[in-house]
Homo-oligomer: A and B are copies of this chain.
Amino acid sequence: MEALKRRIKTDGRNLGGGILKVDGFINHQVDPDLMQACGRELARRFAPARATKVLTAEISGIAPAFCAALALGVPVVYARKQRPITMPDQVYLTLAPSHTKGLSVELIVSPEYLRATERVLIIDDFLATGQTILGLARLAGAAGAAVVGIGVVIEKTFEGGREALRPLGVPIEALARVADMRDGRIVFAN
C-alpha cells in the first residue's frame, strides 16, 4: 500500500535493534484517514475469506482491526490482557511471549463473543515474530472457530513471523513489508 509506505518513509523512524517507531500515525497518535484506508485495503484483500468476525489484541491492534471490521461489516473483538470484572469466570486464555516486553502476556477472550461457528480474521498492527498472532489463533481454536486469514499493517520480514504462522495454512497479508532495518535504513520488500 503506497500511501502507507510513503508515510513510513516520511514519519517512521528506525530506532535500531529492529524497532520501528510509527507512533506518530499508528500506535500512540493515530491518523484516522490513513488507518481507515488501511482497514479498507485489508477488507478488500480478505473479502473472499467471508470472515464473520475480526479478532485482535489490545492495545495497538484495536485501531486497524476496528477499521477492517467497519469495512467488512462484521464485529471486532479485542483480546484483553487483564480480565475485566464484566467478563465471566470461564474464559479463553492463552499466554503469548511479548517480543518487546521480554515477558509473557495473557490474551483473554470471553466465550460469549467467540463461537465455534465463527470465521475469524486476525488483524494486528505489526507482524514481527508472530507470537501474538499465534496466541490469537489459539484462542480461536479453543473456541472451535476457524481462522480464515491474517492481516497486518506492517510486517518486519526479518523476524520470522510469516514462517511461524505458515502452519496455520491461511492467507497472510501485510500492507507494508519492511525487509531491512540495518544501518538506520528502512528498506521495503519488493
Q: Could you tell me which A residues sit within 8 Å of B by CB distance?
A: 15, 19, 21-25, 27-33, 35-36, 58-59, 62-63, 66, 69-70, 73-78, 80, 84-87, 100, 109-110, 112-113
Residue in contact with A86 in the complex, picked from B19, B31, B73, B110, CB distance below 8 Å = B19
Residue in contact with A36 in the complex, picked from B29, B31, B70, CB distance below 8 Å = B70
Q: What are 18 A-B residue pairs whose CB atoms fall within 8 Å in the complex?
A: A15-B86, A23-B110, A24-B112, A24-B113, A28-B109, A28-B113, A29-B76, A29-B77, A29-B112, A30-B69, A30-B75, A30-B77, A32-B73, A33-B70, A33-B73, A58-B59, A59-B62, A84-B100
- Would you call A32 and B113 a contact (CB within 8 A)? no
Closest A-B pairs by Cβ, 4 of them: A32-B70, A29-B113, A21-B86, A29-B77
Q: Could you say which residues of chain B place their CB within 8 Å of the CB of A113?
A: 23-24, 28-29
Chain B nearest CB from A61 CB (Å) reads 10
CA distance A179 to B63 in the complex (A): 31
Q: Could you say which residues of chain B place their CB within 8 Å of the CB of A22?
A: 86
